[in-house]
Chains A and B, each alone.
Chain A
Amino acid sequence: MSKPRIATCSLAGCFGCHMSVLDIDERLLELVDVVEFDKSPITDIKKFDGRCRIGLIEGGCANEENVAVLRAFRRHCDILVSLGDCATMGGIPALRNLVPIDECFREAYIDGPSTHNPAKIIPRDVELPLLLDKVRPAHEIVRIDYLLPGCPPSADAIWAAVTALLSDKPIDLPYQLIKYD
């Protein structure tokens, strides 16, 4: 029987959650024994190769590309897990939700204290995905099966969740793993 597949993605996140995935350290070897990584920055595989058991979502949706990727994950994965506070709540990127988009652009490309842009050009290349009016948590875009809190969730929490999902056991996270104060 072929190994179950896992996919991961980083949408509007900082890759911190992926670093935390890597933080499971040598258990990574255990993991690759029992699963196959599909589309993921870890493998640099860009396209889904097949049906996945689990999709790990880092980050919320800030632009149209995030939405498209997330929807593709929903179509290709049995279970989606929102990984970390950006995916579950929008997180830091969602701070821009209070600011109109053109103001965001002006600050980012023209007025920002570290910006050098004498021509005052705001990039608008068609290659650049358009921003959504607001950064949204993943579960507002597609159905999400599990939410794992933390910024980032600890490697132990991720390990506990993923191994439970792979073995069809209920996820039972001890309080210590999801306590953040």
Chain B
Amino acid sequence: MASEDINRVVGEIGLRHGRERWRLMDIVRDVQERLGAVGPEAVDAIAGWLGIARVEVEGVVGFYSFLSSGQRGRVVIRLCDDVIDRMAGYDAVRAAFEGALGVKVGETTPDGEFTLERTACIGMCDQAPAALVNDVVVTNLSSDKARVIVRMLRDQKDPSKLVHRFGDGNNSHPLVRSMVENNLRKAGPIVFSGQTRGEAIRKALAISPAEVIRAIKTSRLRGRGGAGFPTGMKWEFARAAAGDRKFVICNADEGEPGTFKDRVLLTELPDRVFAGLTIAAYAVGAAEGIVYLRAEYAYLRRFLEQVLEKRRADGLLGRSVCGKPGFDFDIRIQMGAGAYICGEETALINSCEGLRGEPRNRPPFPAQRGYLGCPTVVNNVETLACVTRILEAGPATFCERGTHQSSGTKLLSISGDCTLPGVYEVDMGITLREVLELCGGEDAAAVQVGGPSREMVGPAEFHRTIDYDDLATGGAVLVFGPDRNIVEIVSAFMEFFVHESCGFCTPCRVGTVLLKEKLDRVIAGRGEPKDLEDMLELAETIKQTSRCGLGQASPNPVLMTLRSFRPVYDALVKPDPHGYRRGFDLQASLREAERVAGRGSQQHQEGVP
């Protein structure tokens, strides 16, 4: 495309988003979508439009995996490459796509039509293998379906035509039109009940913000995003923080592999999530709200925009919400661009400001100084849905459920080797064994609770409970049957962290790579007992010296399984009788030199005195 055209496109997109620097993400995303790349000329044009340095634009383009400086195909096929998808046949699907397209993963077809990529979990583990074709989600893939998809895309050019049969519930809504299924297996009494739109907000607005916070505190609600911070306390900090301008943000980045319950909430109960955000805004004194929606869920965007539009029309958003003078509040949707780390709240805030999604130092905490330097509350989608129920039915109804430390219910996203994968609303404090009975996963040899960041649990510990005192989780429950190879799973989890580390600090950026290398040597049968000790030590260093939750959790796959599945590792390692490092492969490391020299090694390796 000629540079005038690029300038024109950027100009149009710029006009739509304005000249404020923090709109950079939106501009770059739209440019990527229109031009298939954010190349050097587009970077110049964007930098010129916003009056910022080129490098700031390049930094953002380079950071997010859905953005690229090199030209991508008109259709980008992103294969979800996580452990569950691999178990469900990812390799065959990948091979079929590669065969049908004539390119490998990471490449673009010569005609510029297709790019084939792999991506981290897209939140469809209960219908794996899955992929994104531009914004369109395709699920339950197989090798023949992959070939059909390519043929149809060649004939019809339009990814939305791939969807013939819609999923249940709002997945068939005219603005969603997706084949995604909710697989809601168990609706509980908190999140999935009570449907009177507006009731919670009206009840909240009838009392003072301080009373709203008190109600949340009485319910003992804790964050459902994983960290479990008491929601009432967070709101109180933000309310008390100095400043006239405050923000509330709904964290819909849902990136922890194996988690997909927020997707179902956004599909079926967006009104209850937005109501929760509105109540949060009233409680802390915010007039502006943001929903940070992960790029993988872009197919829900137009639907969610319409829900917001309806709420505005019905007086549930906008000036004087529900006729409450002085309470003005509106919500905008901020799209992500494919980065797990952006689920971390300070990285998320940076991303909303149009920066690279690198976490910030804390303190200051977002409640003190967050988005644009203003006090900001970030809450998970499910947390906000709980808020709505608490205001609607009263805190007592909420804490009737669960345990004292962990009140209420929890949504679980269950996938893997079980007969009924999907979303379950269960009481906090439920044992893992009960969970497995619910989903038909009684045969499990291991269960990863909380995704790669948390813990792998074996049968001897299935009596443990899902709550903040024991197995804390954002909701992911990955079930592994007796035939699965634990260490291979651990390696795949490590691969995830290696890829998703934002790279800011060395222990996480380098340490995860070293840890994975050591692990892979052990898996390949080239490990010594000392390697296991080294891995523990390295893991501890990474944990203690990384800056944010990602790095601190990144060694967990290794650390947790070395603790609870130690015999698996012990069986793989053995000492070397001479004290040689078994991890060093002389043959392999000479291969390149032999090729260059055009001859084999002449040395008698053992013969040298």
A residues with a Cβ closer than 8 A to B are 39, 46-48, 63-65, 67-69, 71-72, 74-75, 100-102, 105, 124, 126, 129-134, 136, 139-143
Report chain B residues within 8 Å CB of A143.
530, 576, 579-581
A-B contact pairs, 17 of them (CB 8 A): A65-B603, A65-B608, A68-B603, A71-B580, A74-B578, A74-B579, A75-B579, A124-B597, A130-B597, A130-B603, A131-B592, A131-B593, A132-B590, A141-B584, A143-B530, A143-B579, A143-B580
Tell me if B584 and A64 are in contact (CB < 8 A).
no
Are the C-beta atoms of B584 and A140 separated by less than 8 Å? Answer: yes
Bitwise interface map of B from 560 to 593 toward A, beta carbon under 8 Å scored 1, else 0: 0000000000000000101111011010111111
7 A-B pairs with the lowest CB-CB distances in the bound complex, closest first? A68-B608, A130-B593, A47-B609, A143-B579, A132-B589, A131-B593, A74-B579
In the assembled complex, the CB of B305 is this many whole angstroms from the nearest CB of chain A, namely 48
Q: Which residues of A contact B576 (CB under 8 A)?
A: 143
* Chain B residues closer than 8 Å to A129, beta-carbon distance: 603
In the complex, B1 has a CB within 8 A of chain A: no
The one of B579, B586, B591 in contact with A67, judged by C-beta atoms closer than 8 angstroms, is B586
* B397 at interface by CB-CB < 8 Å: no
The reply to whether B578 and A130 contact each other, CB–CB distance below 8 Å, is no
Partner of B592, one of A39, A65, A101, A140: A101
**Residues of the A chain whose Cβ atoms lie less than 8 Å from the Cβ of B599:** 124, 126
Bound together, the chains give a CA A140 to CA B596 distance in angstroms of 24
How far in angstroms is the closest Cβ of chain B from A117?
17
A145 to B592, CA, bound (A): 30
Contact of B596 among A75, A102, A139, A142 (CB under 8 A): A102
B211 beta carbon closer than 8 Å to chain A: no
Most buried by A among B593, B594, B605, B607: B593
Tell me which residues across on chain A come within 8 A of B586, comparing CB atoms. Answer: 64, 67
Task: Give the chain B neighbours of A39 by CB distance below 8 A.
Answer: 609
B602 within 8 Å of A (CB atoms): yes
Q: In the assembled complex, how far is the CB of residue B401 from the closest CB belonging to chain A, in whole angstroms?
A: 54
Closest chain B CB from A79 CB (angstroms): 11
Q: From DSSP, what is the main secondary structure of chain A's interface residues?
A: mixed
For B603, list chain A residues within 8 Å (CB). 64-65, 68, 129-130
Q: Is B598 an interface residue, CB under 8 A from the partner? A: yes
Closest-by-CB residue of A relative to B583 is A140
Number of interface residues of B (CB under 8 A): 28
In the complex formed, the residue of B with least CB distance to A68 is: B608
B71 interface hit (Cβ, 8 Å): no
Evaluate contact between B605 and A130: CB separation under 8 angstroms.
no
Chain B positions within 8 Å of A, measured between CB atoms, are: 530, 576, 578-581, 583-584, 586, 588-594, 596-599, 601-603, 605-609
Contacts of A68 in B (CB 8 A): 603, 605-608
* A75 / chain B contacts, CB cutoff of 8 Å: 578-579
Q: A163 vs B444: C-alpha distance in the bound complex, in angstroms?
A: 57
**Complex alpha-carbon distance, A105 and B606, angstroms:** 27
Which among A72, A124, A134 is the interface contact of B608 at CB below 8 angstroms? Answer: A72
Least CB distance, B567 to chain A, in whole angstroms: 24
Chain A residues lying within 8 Å of B592, measured Cβ to Cβ, are: 100-101, 131, 133
| C-alpha spacing A139/B583, complex, angstroms | 11
Q: Chain B's nearest CB lies how many Å from the CB of A7?
A: 11
A142-B580 in contact (CB<8A): yes
Query: Would A72 and B594 count as touching, CB distance under 8 A?
Result: no
Which residue from chain B places its CB closest to the CB of A105 in the assembled complex? B596
Distance A131 CA – B595 CA, assembled complex (angstroms):
11
What's the Cα separation between A47 and B609 when bound, in Å? 6
Q: How many angstroms between the C-alpha atoms of A67 and B589 in the bound complex?
A: 11
Q: Do the beta carbons of A46 and B609 come within 8 Å of each other?
A: yes
Report Cα–Cα, A102/B591, bound state, in Å.
12
Q: Which of these, B580, B596, B607, contacts A74 with CB under 8 Å?
A: B580
Complex contact A64–B609 (CB within 8 A): no
Shortest CB-to-CB span from B599 to chain A, Å, is 7
Residue of B nearest to A67 (CB): B586
B591 — which chain A residues lie within 8 A by C-beta? 133
Q: A140 CA to B589 CA in the complex, in Å?
A: 12
Give which listed residue, B578, B589, B590, B602, contacts A71 with CB less than 8 A.
B578
* Identity of the chain A residue whose Cβ is nearest the Cβ of B604 in the assembled complex: A68
CB pair B581–A139 under 8 Å, yes or no, is yes
Instruction: Find out whether the CB atom of A64 lies under 8 angstroms from the CB atom of B590.
Output: yes
* Chain B residues in 8 Å Cβ range of A131: 592-593
Please name all residues of chain B whose beta carbon is closer than 8 Å to the beta carbon of A133 when the two chains form the complex. Answer: 588-593
For the complex, what is the distance from the CA of A101 to the CA of B592, rounded to whole Å?
7
Supposing A46-B609, A67-B586 touch, asked if A130 and B601 sit within 8 A by C-beta, the answer is: yes
Give complex CA distance A139, B592 in Å: 22
In the assembled complex, the Cα of A100 lies from the Cα of B601 at a distance in Å of 18
Q: Which residues of A contact B594 (CB under 8 A)?
A: 130
Q: Complex formed: what's the CA distance from A102 to B580 in Å? A: 28
The smallest C-beta distance from A37 to any residue of chain B, in angstroms, reads 16
- Bound state CA distance, A129 and B588, in angstroms? 15
Task: Name 9 extra pairs, CB < 8 A, besides A130-B603, A143-B530.
Answer: A46-B609, A47-B609, A64-B603, A64-B605, A65-B603, A72-B609, A124-B598, A133-B591, A136-B589
Cβ 8 A contact of A141, one of B580, B601, B609: B580
Contact present for A136 and B584 (CB under 8 Å): yes
Report whether A101 and B605 are in contact in the complex, using a CB–CB cutoff of 8 Å.
no
| Shortest CB distance A172–B (Å) | 22
Closest to A77 in B: B579
Write out the residue numbers on chain B whose beta carbons fall within 8 Å of the beta carbon of A63: 593
A100 vs B588: C-alpha distance when bound (angstroms): 15
B589 touches A142 (CB 8 A): no
Q: How far does the alpha carbon of A100 sit from the alpha carbon of B109 in the complex, in Å?
A: 29
Q: Least Cβ distance of A135 to chain B in Å? A: 10
Q: Which residues of A contact B597 (CB under 8 A)?
A: 124, 130
A136's nearest neighbour on chain B, judged by CB, is B584
CB nearest neighbor in B for A64: B603
Nearest Cβ distance between residue B561 and chain A, in whole angstroms? 24
Nearest Cβ in chain A — how far from B77, in angstroms? 32
Q: Are B581 and A141 in contact (CB under 8 A)?
A: yes
B577's closest neighbor in chain A, by CB? A75
What chain B residues lie within 8 Å of A48 (beta carbons)?
609
In whole angstroms, what is the CA distance A130 to B592 when docked?
A: 9
Q: How far is the CA of A141 from the CA of B588 in the complex (A)?
A: 13
Nearest CB of chain B from residue A71's CB, rounded to whole Å: 6
Distance A73 CA – B603 CA, assembled complex (angstroms): 17
Closest Cβ of chain B to A142, distance in Å, is 5
Shortest Cβ gap from A108 to chain B (Å): 12
- Taking the closest CB of chain A, its distance from the CB of B522, in whole angstroms, is 15
In the bound assembly, the distance between CA atoms of A28 and B65 in angstroms comes to: 61
Q: Which residues of chain A are near B605, meaning CB under 8 Å?
A: 64, 67-68, 71
Q: How far is the CA of A100 from the CA of B586 in the complex (A)?
A: 17
Tell me the minimal C-beta distance from B23 to chain A in angstroms. Answer: 39
> A145: nearest residue on chain B (CB-CB)?
B579
* A101 with B584, Cβ < 8 A, contacts A65-B608, A129-B603 known: no
